[in-house]
Amino acid sequence: MDWKDIAKNIGSVAASVAPLLGGPVGMAVSIGSQIAGALGTDNDPKAVLAELNNNPDAALKLQEWAHNEREQIRQSHVELQKIALKKIFFN
């Protein structure tokens, strides 16, 4: 299991974060690591998913993290758009 496999689950709690988990591997790993840290789990998608499924407070923690990191999340979305545009115009 990797980070993109749990993007839908993350998206149901923090929609702005889900696309980043499906992006380039480096970005997904970075964002996934930050999510794991915010939830206090191992840096592993399975651990994050288990925490979201088993701890009702985990969704609130994830939303708080996304709110606090909204500028970084916005910048990451900009990077995803740049990557998509490069693929369109330079491939």
**pLDDT in single tens digits along all 91 residues of the chain:** 999 999 999 999 999 898 889 888 888 999 999 999 999 999 999 999 999 999 999 999 999 999 998 888 888 878 888 888 888 888 7
Collect all residues with Cβ–Cβ distance below 8 Å to 23 and sequence separation of at least 6.
76, 79, 80, 83
Closest CA to 25 of 90, 80, 89: 80
